[in-house]
């Protein structure tokens, strides 16, 4: 089940393919950055299985086939967070080489793929602060007949995404 033929057909739309690639790398790198530093055997097996299923079920068949080839050459490293993150960066760079894109400096992974998440125990007991909608946007939405309870809004931090190569 984990290692088998790809499931999805080729994705013909180049723009959709590029957007999917960027989102997928973001997901994988963020997952590796959040993986336990000392994972249990079960956690290691879960990540390994996820990676192999990801390669089979990836929505771009051509990309899935290439990713499976990379997995054969570079099996997932799941013994620790650092091993998983380093493995993902290495495989991403292999894909970048194949696509004739610049390689990423793996020592800077944390700067690019920090999800802004914190461990659950760090968040406990901290009050959440109210988010804000700019007055002009709130007026625009209210003029459309929409009512908003701004007291229920929580802050969302949005920062510019660095351009990735994949």
Tell me the three state secondary structure of residue 81. Answer: helix
- What are the tens digits of pLDDT across the range 45-61? 999 999 999 999 999 99
At 106, the pLDDT band (50, 70, 90 cuts) reads: confident
Residue 157 scores a pLDDT above 60:
no
In this structure, the answer to whether residues 31 and 99 fall within a common structural domain is yes
In this structure, the answer to whether residues 88 and 143 fall within a common structural domain is no
Could you give the percent of the chain with pLDDT greater than 90? 53
| Measured distance CA(106)–CA(84) in Å, rounded | 12
**pLDDT reported for residue 63:** 94
In this structure, the answer to whether residues 132 and 69 fall within a common structural domain is no
Residue 144 scores a pLDDT above 50:
no
In this structure, the answer to whether residues 32 and 102 fall within a common structural domain is yes
| Residue 4 forms part of a structural domain | no
In this structure, the answer to whether residues 96 and 137 fall within a common structural domain is no
Residue 152 scores a pLDDT above 50:
no
In this structure, the answer to whether residues 111 and 138 fall within a common structural domain is no
Burial of 166 (0-12, 13-18, 19+ CB in 10 A): buried
| Measured distance CA(100)–CA(104) in Å, rounded | 12
In this structure, the answer to whether residues 76 and 135 fall within a common structural domain is no
In this structure, the answer to whether residues 102 and 48 fall within a common structural domain is yes
CATH of the domain at 100: 1.20.120.310
**pLDDT reported for residue 113:** 61
Long-range contacts from 13-18, C-beta under 8 angstroms, 24+ separation: 17/60, 17/63
In this structure, the answer to whether residues 39 and 93 fall within a common structural domain is yes
Q: Where are the alpha helices (DSSP H) in the chain?
A: 14-34, 41-57, 61-73, 81-98, 109-112, 120-123, 135-143
| Residue 162 forms part of a structural domain | no
Residue written as tokens 């990676």?
Answer: 51
**pLDDT reported for residue 80:** 95
**pLDDT reported for residue 114:** 59
- What are the tens digits of pLDDT across the range 66-99? 999 999 999 999 999 999 999 999 999 999 999 9
At 117, the pLDDT band (50, 70, 90 cuts) reads: low
Q: How many domains does the chain have?
A: 2
| Measured distance CA(107)–CA(159) in Å, rounded | 21
| Residue 144 forms part of a structural domain | yes
**pLDDT reported for residue 162:** 56
Q: What is the pTM of this model?
A: 0.67
Range of the domain at 86: 14-115
| Residue 135 forms part of a structural domain | yes
C-beta neighbour count of 145 within 10 angstroms: 6
At 159, the pLDDT band (50, 70, 90 cuts) reads: very low
In this structure, the answer to whether residues 30 and 102 fall within a common structural domain is yes
| Residue 8 forms part of a structural domain | no
In this structure, the answer to whether residues 101 and 146 fall within a common structural domain is no
What token pair was written down for 69?
């080839």
In this structure, the answer to whether residues 37 and 91 fall within a common structural domain is yes
């Amino acid at each position: 089940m984990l290692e088998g033929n790809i499931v999805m057909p080729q994705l013909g739309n180049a723009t959709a393919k590029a957007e999917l690639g960027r989102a997928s790398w973001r997901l994988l790198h963020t997952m590796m950055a959040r993986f336990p530093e000392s994972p249990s055997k079960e956690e290691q097996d879960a990540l390994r299985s996820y990676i192999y299923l990801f390669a089979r079920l990836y929505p771009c068949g051509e990309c899935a086939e290439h990713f499976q080839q990379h997995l054969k050459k570079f099996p997932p490293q799941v013994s620790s967070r650092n091993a998983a993150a380093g493995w993902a960066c290495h495989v991403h760079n292999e894909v970048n080489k194949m696509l004739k894109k610049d390689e990423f400096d793996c020592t800077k992974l944390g700067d690019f793929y920090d999800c802004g998440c914190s461990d659950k125990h760090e968040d406990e007991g901290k009050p959440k602060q109210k988010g804000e909608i700019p007055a002009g946007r709130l007026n625009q939405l209210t003029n459309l007949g929409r009512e908003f309870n701004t007291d229920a809004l929580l802050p969302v931090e949005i920062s510019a995404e660095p351009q990735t190569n994949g």
